[in-house]
Copies of this chain bind each other. A is one copy, B any other.
Amino acid sequence: MGKEHMSSQFDAELNGIRARLLEMGGKVELMIANSIRSLMERDSALAERTIAFDAEINAMEIEIDQKCLHILARRQPAAKDLRFVALALKIVTDLERIGDQCSSIAKQALELNREAQLKPYVDLPRMADAASNAVREALDAFVQGDAPTAAKVCGNDRFVDELNEQLQRELLTFMMEDPATVGRAMRITAVSKFLERIADHATNIAEMVIFMVEGKDVRHSSHSSV
């Protein structure tokens, strides 16, 4: 087998990891959208399907991990390719945990859907959109080795944080004014925090991408995880 053949085979394997990661990202985005939709539209069947769907994300994590180990063992990638594969191993774990958080949102939706709606959900879908966009942009930045896009994701993190803080304050007021709202308000608070954690995962991915591309570490400069 000639060197060129080896090399194109190697590229095909790297592209395979890229493609599967993007696919996994697409499924995770769908989970984010569906978990919040199950709450907005009081669609508990959708919440149940979203919880069940998490198994698919989990299976993809294992599969992509295996692909990465395989390429490390057989192809001995160096420099940029090595950093790519090492980062894929970390990113896939972030994506899997986002799946867990969507599943947790759907579980809260199931409970919230059993009761009268406490308030119109205005901020939650905005947070979900922003978090979902952040995940997509962070992954795009990863597969394209695009540091400026990754930097943009890091910069946008405050938006979801601020919506989360604003919603927490609003729910606090509800609870203090009417104790009967406490149970529901606590559940909405939990949903809001899960969305904030999802956006945090996207930021974590983006920070690691900047490191991969530029070889410099911006992790732990803008990152907050409250």
Contact A79-B73, Cβ < 8 Å, known A58-B219, A179-B177, A226-B104: yes
How far is it, in angstroms, between the C-alpha of A107 and the C-alpha of B176 when the chains are bound?
A: 23
Q: Mark A155-182, 1 if CB is under 8 A from B, else 0.
A: 0000000000000100010011101101
Which residue of the partner chain B has the closest CB to A62? B217
In the complex, A223 has a CB within 8 A of chain B: yes
Contact B172 A58 (CB under 8 A): no
- Find chain B residues with CB under 8 A from A90 CB: 89-90, 93
In the complex, A225 has a CB within 8 A of chain B: yes
How far is it, in angstroms, between the C-alpha of A175 and the C-alpha of B176 when the chains are bound?
A: 8
Contact A72 B68 (CB under 8 A): no
- Find chain B residues with CB under 8 A from A180 CB: 176
Number of interface residues of A (CB under 8 A): 45
A-side binding surface: helix, strand, loop or mixed? helix
- Find chain B residues with CB under 8 A from A6 CB: none
Contact A86 B89 (CB under 8 A): yes
A204 CB, min distance to chain B CBs, angstroms: 8
Which residue of the partner chain B has the closest CB to A54? B220
Q: Mark A49-83, 1 if CB is under 8 A from B, else 0.
A: 00000010011011001001100110010110011
Which residue of the partner chain B has the closest CB to A97? B225
Q: Which of B86, B103, B193 contacts A69 (CB 8 A)?
A: B86
- Find chain B residues with CB under 8 A from A40 CB: none
Contact B183 A172 (CB under 8 A): yes
How far is it, in angstroms, between the C-alpha of A47 and the C-alpha of B219 when the chains are bound?
A: 23
In the complex, A34 has a CB within 8 A of chain B: no
Interface residues of A, Cβ cutoff 8 Å to B: 55, 58-59, 61-62, 65, 68-69, 72-73, 76, 78-79, 82-83, 86, 89-90, 93, 97, 100-101, 103-104, 107, 168, 172, 175-177, 179-180, 182-183, 186, 189, 193, 204, 217, 219-220, 223-226
